[in-house]
Structure 1
Amino acid sequence: MPILTVFYIKLFINLGLTLGIFWVISRSELFAKWQLEKEKAVFAAGFVLLRLIPWIGIFLIINEDPRGDIPFFFYKAEAAKAGGFVYRDFWSYHAPLYAYIISIPVWIWHNSRAIVLFMVLMESAILWLTYKTYKVKSSRALQYAMIYLMLPAGFMYILVDGQEEVWFWGAALLIWRYTINHKDNYEIGAGLLFALTLLTIKVTFIFLLPAILVVVKKPVKMLLVMAAVGIPAVGFLYWQIGDLFLMPIQHTEQLMTPNLFSVSRPFIELFIHINEKKSTMINWIGLLFTVFLPAYMAFKARHRHISEILPGIFIAVFVCMMIFQASAMGAYLIAYLMAVLFDVIDIRKTWHVIVLLAVNWLTVVQPFVWVYIHQPSYTSFGMFGNLSNLFEYILQIMNVLCFVWILRKTYQNVVNPDKLAVA
């Protein structure tokens, strides 16, 4: 199917999903009642209608091939299934255990479509656990869960493209739930879960660590637990494959969009030319802001228990990554979209709903437009004489403004308890 046809179909589906969201928002009392009486049935119905049936339609009936990163994931899963050793026998930019985890569905059905279904099941499990966590303080939790299933970004990037970034929130959710259930002496469990996450998903999760260490009561204790897990794992990898285990760190990504650098580049280029092949320093500068701002937020809220602010700290880390990292792209929204919906968005406020829908639509539309017009880097204002470039640049600006709004609201929720988004 031609790529442009696929895009038009996505727009049509997005429109249907958006109309569905408006319907769900208008039925607060009904969903509050269902939350008390039939939560499992409603959640299961949402999963079947908005995840399972579409997956069957796309990959079994229409027989579309998985897109995005799935072909590369399948390559890794096949190699892991065949007994290959990660980094030595096959390429991987994920944590060492990731390839072996995504090989599980391939053992059952040797097809890349199995990985997409696995991603959908993982997402749904994380959503259910998120709902169970928030339902104790919100009568709208089930309503938010149904809204999430209709959000265009999650629908497209997880159901269609099989992205795994939502696993980051799943890991943070497990740590958060542990701190809720263990108000004291939680550092051992939190450190163990954090270390296992670094071995399972991506090293990017380490960005969350500085902010957590600021707010935990015994940071050294948590670090020692992480070291007890991490050092033997690193030692084993070095024993087996030398420094090849550094592959995820050594991977230098190209400059992507949308982020603060991509939208400010026409101004930057007035003073200094950026060599895209030697842009490491730009990412290092972005990394400083990505780590510093959430850590500052944690410091401002250090008088509060970690269980009160961990979701906000998590959101801040990954939204800062998308704002300040020059290699960040729109798909990373999936990492914190679920957390933003439950922890930041108030569907009773029109502007909240507008931003939520805008960032979802932009995340679907902007990357396609950027690729379709051959991924321009706006090194001069003269490039905006091309209306396609100008249109895509405006989409980038709107995207970044949405990220900034999310960061601002998250800051208020973390630093000022009176601003907590609890319905």
Structure 2
Amino acid sequence: MPVLTVFYIKLLINLGLTLGIIWTITRSDLFSRWQSGNDKLVFGLSFLLFRFVPWIGIFLIVNEEPRGDIPFFFYKAVAAKAGGFVYRDFWSYHAPLYAYIISIPVWLWHNARAIVLFMVLMEAGILWLTYQTYKSRSPRALQLAIIYFLLPAGFMYILVDGQEEVWFWGAALVMWRYTLKQTVNYEIGLGILYAIALLTIKVTFILLLPAVLVLVKKPVKMLIVMAAIGLPAVGFLYWQIGDLFLMPIRHTEQLMTPNLFSVGRPFIEFFVKIDAKNSGLLNWFGLLFTVFVPVFMAFKSRHKHINQVLPSIFIACFVCMMVFQASAMGAYVIAYLMAVIFEIIDIRKTVHVVVLLALNWLTVVQPFVWVYIKQPAYTSLGMFGDISFLFEYILEILNVLCFLWILRETYRKIAPSENPVLA
């Protein structure tokens, strides 16, 4: 199927999902009643309607081939299934265990579509666990879960493209639930969970660690536990493959959009010429802000228990990653979108709903437009004489503004008495 045809179909699906979100928002009383007695049925039917049936339609009936990263995931899964050693026998930009995890569905069905279904099932499991965590906290928890199922970004990036970034929230959620249950002396368990996450998902998850260390009562104890697990793992990898295990870090050098650098580049190039092939310094500069802002927020809330602020700190961390990292791209919104729905968005407020819908539409439309017009790097203002470049650049700006709005609302939740700071 032609790329443009696929894009137009995505736009129609986005419109239908948006209308579904609007209807769901207007039926709070109905979902509140369902949450009290029929939540499993409603959640299950929503999964079937908005994930499983579309998966059947796209990949079995229409027989579309999986897109996005799925072909690369399938390559890794097949190699892992065959007994290959990660980084040495096959490429991987994920943590060492990731390829072996996604090989599980390939054992059952040797097809890339199996990995897409696996991602969908993982997302549903994380959403159900999120709903269960918030169920006692909000009468709108079930309504928010169904709204998430309807969000265009989740539908497109997970169901269609099989992205795995929602696993970040899954790992943070497990850690948060542990601190809710274990309110004292939680550092050992938290350290074990964090170390497992780093071996399982992506090295990017380590960006959250400095802020977490500010929040815990005994950070050294947590670090010792993590080191007891992580150092032997790193030592074993080095023994087997040398420094090839650094492959995931090297993947962060590619410049992407939308982020603060991509929208600021036309002005930055007035003063400094950027070498796109040697841009590691940009990400190191962005890394400072990605780590500093969540650490600052954690410091502001250090008098609170970690289980009161961990979801917000998680959101702040990965929003900052998308804002400040020059290698950040739109698909990363999946990392924190589920957390934002439950923790930040108030569906009773029009502005919140508008920003949520705008973010989802922009996240779907902007990457396609950028790729379709040959991935331009805006190195001068003169490039905006091309109307297609100007249109895509405006989409990037709107995207970044949505990220900054989420960051502001997250800060307000953490430090409500100090709203003027980011107002």
Q: TM-score, normalised by structure 2?
A: 0.98
The residue aligned with 1:321 is 321
Taking the aligned partners of 1:133 and 1:253, their CA distance within structure 2 comes to: 37
1:404 corresponding residue in structure 2: 404
Q: For residues 15 and 139 of structure 2, what CA distance do their matches in structure 1 show? A: 27
Aligned mates of 2:43, 2:277 — CA distance in 1: 47
1:418 Cα deviation from its structure 2 partner:
10
- The corresponding residue for 1:210 is 210
Kindly indicate whether residue 369 of structure 2 is the aligned counterpart of residue 357 of structure 1: no
Q: Is the 8 A contact 2:253 2:279 kept in 1?
A: no
Amino acid aligned to 1:184: V
CA distance in structure 2 between the aligned counterparts of 1:352 and 1:163, rounded to whole angstroms: 25
- 2:277 aligns to what SS in structure 1? helix
After superposition, what is the alpha-carbon deviation per residue over 1:250-277, rounded to whole angstroms, capped at 9, x for unaligned?
3343111000000011111111111111
The runs of at least 4 aligned residues of structure 1 exceeding 3 Å deviation read: none
Residue 253 of structure 2 aligns to a residue whose secondary structure is: coil
Alpha-carbon RMSD across the aligned residues, in angstroms, is 1.0
State the shift of 1:246 in Å.
Answer: 1.4
1:228-377 map, 5 Å: 228-377=228-377
Q: 2-side partners of 1:247 and 1:321: how far apart?
A: 19
CA distance in 1, matches of 2:251, 2:373: 26
**Contact kept? 2:258, 2:330, Cα under 8 Å:** yes
Distance 1:25 1:418 in 2: 30
> Could you tell me which amino acid in structure 2 is paired with residue 5 of structure 1?
T
Partner of 2:175: 175
Read off the aligned partner of 1:201 and give its amino acid letter: I
- Quick one: distance in 1 between partners of 2:288 and 2:249? 16
Give the equivalent residue in structure 1 for 2:99. 99
Instruction: Note the alpha carbon deviations across 1:95-140, whole angstroms, 9 max, x for none.
Output: 0000000000000000000000000000000000000001111000
Identity %: 76
- CA distance in 1 between partners of 2:304 and 2:48 (Å): 39
For residues 187 and 252 of structure 2, the distance between their equivalents in structure 1, rounded to whole angstroms, comes to: 33
TM-score of the superposed pair, with normalisation by structure 1? 0.98
Q: CA deviation at 1:241?
A: 1.5
SS of alignment partner, residue 346 of structure 2:
coil
Structure 2 SS opposite 1:377? coil
After TM superposition, the structure 1 stretch with the greater mean CA deviation from structure 2, 279-288 or 408-417, is: 408-417
Cα-to-partner distance string for 1:211-237 (whole Å, 9 max, x where unaligned) = 000010000010011011101111111
Q: What is the distance in 1 between the residues matched to 2:384 and 2:201?
A: 39
| Counterparts of 2:312 and 2:332, CA distance in 1 | 17
Tell me by how many angstroms 1:309 deviates.
0.2
Deviation by residue 1:265-297 (Cα, 9 ceiling, x = unmatched): 111111111111111111111000000000000
**Matches of 2:122 and 2:220 in 1, distance apart?**
32
Instruction: Give, in angstroms, the shift of residue 409 of structure 1.
Output: 0.3
SS at match of 1:336: helix
Moved more, 230-239 or 66-75: 230-239
- 1:416 is displaced (CA, Å) by 2.6
Residue 294 of structure 2 aligns to which amino acid in structure 1?
P
Corresponding pairs, count: 419
State whether structure 2 residue 18 is matched by structure 1 residue 25.
Answer: no
Give the AA of the match of 1:118.
Answer: F
* Letter in structure 1 aligned against 2:377: S
Q: What is the deviation of 1:417?
A: 7.9
Segments of structure 1 that go 5 or more residues without pairing to the other structure are none
Q: Determine whether 1:82 maps to 2:82.
A: yes
- The residue type paired with residue 92 of structure 2 is S
Q: Is 2:71 aligned against 1:71?
A: yes
Deviations 1:184-243 (A, max 9, x none): 001011110000000000000000000000010000010011011101111111122122
Q: Return the offset for 1:21.
A: 0.2
Instruction: Show CA shifts across 1:299-348 (max 9, x none).
Output: 01000000000000000000000000001000000000000010000000
Residue deviations 1:17-69, cap 9 Å, x none?
A: 00000000000000000000100000000000000000000000000000000
